[in-house]
Every structure is written in C-alpha cells, then in structure tokens.
Structure 1
C-alpha cells in the first residue's frame, strides 16, 4: 500500500511471466531485419508510383532462398533457423514476390465477391446485371480491336516492364540498385494480326539517355507516324493503348496527334480515333510481343549492356534507339496553346474514345465518348482563344542529360566488377 502511495497513484508494473527470451535473440532479430531491408523492391509495370504499403521483390526469390542467403552471409553466432527468419519476414514486413496484380479488374473481383456473399435475391440480381453490363463494355472494346476495314488503319502500342542492367546470376543483385532498360513497342494491325517483323516497331533506351515519361512516348509515336507509309485508301487512323495517364492518356498525346494530322498526315486521312480499354481488361497485341521477348530473356543469365537487350528486340521487329531520334518537350510546348482538361467540353478521365478531325482554320476538333458504341457528343476545338494547333512547336530534349544517383552507379559498377575484367568502365561515361 505504501509503494502504491509513493508511486503517485500509478498501478505497479506486472513483472511476472512475459517474453523472457526476446532479449536473448534481439541481436539475431535485428540482423535479420537489416538483411531483409537491404533488398531493393522492383517497381511494377502497372504501378508507376512507389507503394508505401507493400514491397515486391524479384519473382526468382523465396523466403527459403533468402534464409539460405542470410545464413551464408552471417557468422555462426547470428545464424537462425528458417522458422525464425520466416516469422520476422511475415510479421515485420509486408513483402511479396513478383509484380502486384494491379492489372486485374477490381470491378470484376468486387462484384464477384458481393454476389457470393449477398443473401437478398433482389440485390443479388442487381449485382448480376451490373456484372453483365461491365462484361459487355470490355467485350465491346475487344470487338473494336478486332475490326478490319480497307479504309481503317489500326495501330497499338505499350511499354514493356523495365528490365534491369546488368542482369547477373549474383545474389547481391537482389539488393543492389540497377540501371533500367526501357522498351516501347508499336504494332501495326488489329488484334488478329500476326507478330511479324514487318509490323513491329520497337523503340528502346535506358535511364542514362532519357527519362520514361509522356515526352518520350509521344516523341516515339510521332517518329513512327512521320515515317510510316499509309495506304491511299486509308481514311481513319485508329490508335489503341492502355490508359496510363502519365504516358499515353494525356493532353500531350492529343496535341501531338492534332498537329500531325493538320500539318504532316496524308490528305486521305480524315480522322484519328484514340481508344483506351476498360480498366483491368487491357490485354492488347503488344502484350503478346512482350511475353515472347521475356521468354527469350529468361534463357539469358547474364546481360551486361543495352546492346544485348537490343539484339533480342531486333530478333522480333524493327528497332530504333530513342537517343537516335529527336525527343521533344511536348508538355512545355502545348501549355500556352491547349486549354486545361478541366475546361474541355467533356470529362477527360472518363472518356474511352477520342475523335480528332481537321478544321479549315489551322485547328482541330475533338470529340470525347465514354462508351464504345455511341457517338453522341459534339466536336469542339480545345485550343485557347486566338491559338491554333499549328502553333505548337516543341523544343528538342538533348539525350544523355539524365542525372543518375552516385549510389546507383556504385552498385552497378560493383556488380560489373564481379563479372567483367573491364571493371564497369562502359558505365562511367
């Protein structure tokens, strides 16, 4: 009673029982945590921004493999059992292997789960109707992708997931920073077209030469359009890609297509259709090409230069190094000419189909539709007052001006020194 009064009225701490072994294994636990945190999470092809909730490691790793790597790298007094390592891995971290399945349609998953758990018959019918409507939407998109017509030219494009350089069978590569190799592919033809060298146009670069943003993607599409030979009967150019706002679905792409249509397109092309899929149902022809390329890359244990990746691309199509073509600053060039999307005559982000046509006054008309079958919206200009689409004149972005962090350069150099006698000199320029 006297101790209770002297403590200021606070209850005494319970000292019986509890975890008496925690302090004994504290050094091992901290060592395991430090080891796990050394691994570099791979960025998902679909998640452009880094997630603070979950990290994804290379698909070739497993908890068992990481445990073996840990015990190999540690002294006897810090080695642990697999169960101890697994417990720390599962309770302390939220880590997965491979890329997150963010390309799976969340609407399909949500409706399916709600239908399973709903007990009210009338509500269940409403959910089933909603799921049917959703299915009809993405089927309508794939029907458009399959369409063939002598007056229609279809092209599709997409970015492959980033490839690491150097790629080496060294366990230290799992927790080292690496240079990213980028591949952007344009395929000529609808979804029924064969994967042939003649209809595959690849643009490649790495993060030492250019960034991977809207300017690079738009410039590659612009280069393709300027050099592609359209048939005399073609009146409609249909462009299909996924709806990534940072690369494909943005004002810069619309502005570039409008400028090209008015100033450089063949006169027989009267209209451009820009089409985006239902979220989660974005399988388009470039994905078939990427699967074919990645199958080849899996057979190559060591890749230490961009030219080795480029050689694989050249087996499948016609290739261009992005550093060899002019990359323009489209974003800066259209800001003073094109209205912000909040001032457009339709909701930009909800739109699935854009229609672009010429006017007689050095301008373009744009129509936006939220569905794949109806065309009910009106066409209007998107330029600011007293501005014309022909006024867009982007400046060239010089290659090899990208700053690479010194820590990444050191990691790459260390990996190459283990594999090459040159000591990574190729990366130091």
Structure 2
C-alpha cells in the first residue's frame, strides 16, 4: 500500500471521493478481485445458453453429405431435399420439453449463423448401379445375397472414389484437361406453349477445361467450342477435331512430361478408336518432344462429374433468366462470360472415322478389352508408331504395351480430310415446324426482323437446294398451305 495525497489523487483523475469509496468497497467485498462491468453488454445470452446448446445438438444429429463436384475447399454440407428449416424447427420442438422449446426465428438464426448447410434438390441423373444395389440391400432377406450386394456396392464406391482422387491430383510434370458436351440448347427459345410440341434447331456447346478439379474456373482455362445443327452434326468427328485444335494451339512447358485427358465414356463421341487415333497422331507428329505420354481416363458410369459440369451449371444459371433466345449470338454472348469461345465452323473439322478405317485394327482385335478399360496410355515407338496400353483399374498398370495398327501400317499414315461446314441440310418438316413457331410468336412478318435472320437464311438455303434440283419454283416459302400445294412445293419436299 502506497499512501498518496487524497486531494491530488482526486483532482488528477477528476473524480469525486464517493466514487473511490465505492470501488474500494466492491474490491474488499469480492475478496480482492476486480469487480465485473455491469453496464451495457449482452445480458441475454447466458439466460438462453441451454436452449442454444440444445438447438445446436439437435442440428448436429443430422448427417449431411458433401457436394459431388469434388471441390475440396467447399465445406458446405447438404441435407435431404425433403427437409427445410421450418420442418426441422417443428421436429425440434416436438422432441423437447417446454423449457427448451424455441421460436422459429431463434432456431433459424442459429442454423444460418453457426452452420454451412443447404438442402439438396431432388436427385437427377443418379447412378443406376448405386440405386439397384441400394434396393437389393434394402429388400433382400437372404443374408448371403445381401452381403454380396453390400460388397459390390463397396467396390463400386471405391472405384469412383479412385477416379475422383485422380481428377484432383495436381502435378507440375503433368497437364490435365477435361472436356464434355453441354445439353443441347433450343433455337428459338420462346415461352410459348406451342414450343413444347414443336421441333426446334439445336445449339451445341463443347467445353474443354485446363487443370484438375481443384483449379479455379476462368476465361483463361475454359475453352468453349460452339456450333449449331445446320453447320455440323454432334458426333465423334466434331468432338475429336475440337480437342485436336485445342492441342495444336496449346503451349506445353518444358517440365510437362504427361498429358492427362479426362472425359465421360460416351462411345459415340469420346470413348472410341477415333479419339485414341487422334491423340496418337498428335503425340508422335505434333507434340513437343518433352511430352512423353498421353493418359486417357474415363469415369465409372454414373459418376462422370468433371470440371466442365461446373461451367455448364454457371451457364444454365444465366440462361434461366433469359425468357427468349432467338439467335445463336445470344448463346455465344453467355459463353463469353465464362470462357474463351471458338466457332467450330472457323476451324477444320476432320473426318477421323474414315481416315483410320484402313489403318487401325478393330477394337475386338486389340490386346486388351477395350470397353471395360478405364485408362489408356499412349507412348511413342521408334518406328513412326505408338504403343497403346489399356487398364481396367485406376491404380494399376499391368497390361502390355502394343501397337494397334494393322500390318505394315503406321500412325503417321493417317491423314483425315476436311468436312466442309454448312454440309447439313435441315429436314423440311423441321423447318416448317420452326417457321410456324416463329409465326405464332412474332407474327406473319417475322422474316423482316433482324434478330431472326438466322432462320430466314436456313429457309433460303433450303429453297436454293430445291431450285438446283427441280428448276423454277417460287422464291419464298408461303405460309398458306394452299399456296404451297398450288406451286407443287409439297411434292418437291417429299422428293427430298
């Protein structure tokens, strides 16, 4: 204790004597402890602490699931679509005594503030194998068969987890690309009820994404190829040519030794001889010499969630806000917001299928089961050819490497011809359906609208074909069926 002058102490701190006496009194009454501040602050939390803990304990009982898009940084969990906050609040109050029941606002505040939980949308495009095995396990009474189904489900689960672990892998010596096709977009897209019963033209979008599933999506690593059904079809030649164009215009750093290509197992577009042939030709003839190997990976059926799906989700979110889309350029503008766009009609589309028929063996003659394989490895030989190795499992490399070309044939002999754009003539019946739809939505003078020039050109192109084939016919397609019959237009189209 240090004695001080009372008057100097009070004057220096500009306080009165009674305040000092009060502080000293509370200090001695508390046993020498500093008194707590009782002015302001939160006086309610302590009173509702029991309810708060009870609500948290109730919410944490629910076992949420992670999103299936492999985003490791995302900590959000999802509860079944049949639940919502209001239903959970009612379930909580039904389980608690009166002293622990809470209002909906109290429950909602804790749910939103303390947890990153969402509710799933109804499941779509679910793996058929998973569903069938779950139903067998649920309904099977025979313990032996039930155990067998549980074992198959576990093996299936381990397979697709192995695929996702490969998709997430990042390595400086490897460049990973993934690609996929978005669902077809309608041209024109109009809210008319008649559109549900009318055929429309399709707008195609094929996306290639550089990087693993952990890579951030931006315009630099997302490449969007677009076209419509009047320019090219949506088959293997178009997809393979787009990937080939991407590889030709991509730079590979000297440290990169392997190109990893990941896509879904669609046999018509990706998992076919043409894709392997193209990758082999590119690897031997055009790839930098420091790129030693190409690895082509396909997912387990039903679990093909790859980075392009995230791009498509963003695009479809934007398109939902557009009620009317009349011309392809409107779709292209949306694609430009999310990546680098390339018009497929401006690049050479090659006929790969025709080029390899006389050079590559049929897959039934290959040295491994083609359709069962999930990974393919391509490496160079010393004789202008490539070795191909196929693996059924994701974590083993046990099969032999052999060439798949026919006798006395080499991969360098493949020289595909160019497929000219605008080589597809729409069917007359589809053109008629589209013109009727445009007439209902925009009126009989729809042809003079600048935004509908795309459809007018298709109509004129079809008429030009008729003029070349059958000589003198009317200049425009009339909207009146009697007018068509009068000039013999129906007979012309039937001949086509």
**Shorter-normalised TM range:** 0.7 to 0.9
Q: Which residue of 2 aligns with 1:362?
A: 384
Structure 1 residue 100 displacement after superposition: 11
Inter-partner Cα distance in structure 2 for 1:342 and 1:125: 35
1:218 is aligned, of 240, 263, 267, to 240
Inter-partner Cα distance in structure 2 for 1:221 and 1:162: 19
Q: Does 1:419 align with 2:442?
A: yes
Q: Are the aligned partners of 1:152 and 1:237 in contact in 2 as well (CA < 8 Å)?
A: yes
Inter-partner Cα distance in structure 2 for 1:427 and 1:336: 40
Q: Which residue of 2 aligns with 1:345?
A: 367
Inter-partner Cα distance in structure 2 for 1:335 and 1:292: 39
Inter-partner Cα distance in structure 2 for 1:426 and 1:133: 51
Q: Which residue of 1 aligns with 2:490?
A: none
Q: Are the aligned partners of 1:166 and 1:303 in contact in 2 as well (CA < 8 Å)?
A: yes
Structure 1 residue 124 displacement after superposition: 2.0
Distance 1:100 1:391, change over 3 A: farther
Q: Which residue of 1 aligns with 2:286?
A: 264
- SS of aligned partner of 2:248: helix
Inter-partner Cα distance in structure 1 for 2:357 and 2:230: 27
Q: Does 1:307 align with 2:335?
A: no
Inter-partner Cα distance in structure 1 for 2:259 and 2:266: 20
Runs of at least 5 residues in structure 2 that lack an aligned partner in the other structure: 1-121, 458-496
Inter-partner Cα distance in structure 2 for 1:269 and 1:107: 37
- SS of aligned partner of 2:302: coil
Q: Which residue of 2 aligns with 1:332?
A: 354
Q: Which residue of 2 aligns with 1:227?
A: 249
Inter-partner Cα distance in structure 1 for 2:192 and 2:153: 47
Q: Deviations over 1:253-286 (max 9, x none)?
A: 0000000000000111000000000001111110
Structure 1 residue 425 displacement after superposition: 4.4
- SS of aligned partner of 1:198: coil
- Number of residue pairs matched by the alignment: 330
Q: Does 1:277 align with 2:305?
A: no
Structure 1 residue 248 displacement after superposition: 0.3
Note the 1:93-104 alignment, pairs <5 A. Answer: 101=124, 103-104=125-126
Q: Deviations over 1:336-355 (max 9, x none)?
A: 00000000001110000000
Q: Does 1:113 align with 2:141?
A: no
Note the 1:19-418 alignment, pairs <5 A. Answer: 101=124, 103-417=125-439, 418=441
- SS of aligned partner of 1:244: coil
Structure 1 residue 326 displacement after superposition: 0.3
Q: Deviations over 1:306-356 (max 9, x none)?
A: 111000000100001100000000000000000000000011100000000
Q: Report the TM-score when normalising by structure 1.
A: 0.75
Q: Does 1:428 align with 2:428?
A: no
Inter-partner Cα distance in structure 2 for 1:131 and 1:426: 50
Q: Deviations over 1:54-104 (max 9, x none)?
A: xxxxxxxxxxxxxxxxxxxxxxxxxxxxxxxxxxxxxxxxxxxxx995x42
Q: Are the aligned partners of 1:304 and 1:416 in contact in 2 as well (CA < 8 Å)?
A: no
- SS of aligned partner of 2:330: helix
- SS of aligned partner of 1:274: strand
- SS of aligned partner of 1:361: coil
Structure 1 residue 414 displacement after superposition: 2.4
Structure 1 residue 130 displacement after superposition: 1.6
Kindly indicate whether structure 1 or structure 2 has the higher relative contact order, using CA contacts under 8 Å at least 6 residues apart: 1
Inter-partner Cα distance in structure 1 for 2:316 and 2:343: 19
Instruction: Please tell me the root mean square deviation across aligned C-alpha atoms, in Å.
Output: 1.4
| Mean CA deviation greater in 110-119 or 222-231 | 110-119
Inter-partner Cα distance in structure 2 for 1:153 and 1:119: 49
Structure 1 residue 422 displacement after superposition: 4.0
Structure 1 residue 229 displacement after superposition: 1.0
Structure 1 residue 416 displacement after superposition: 2.6
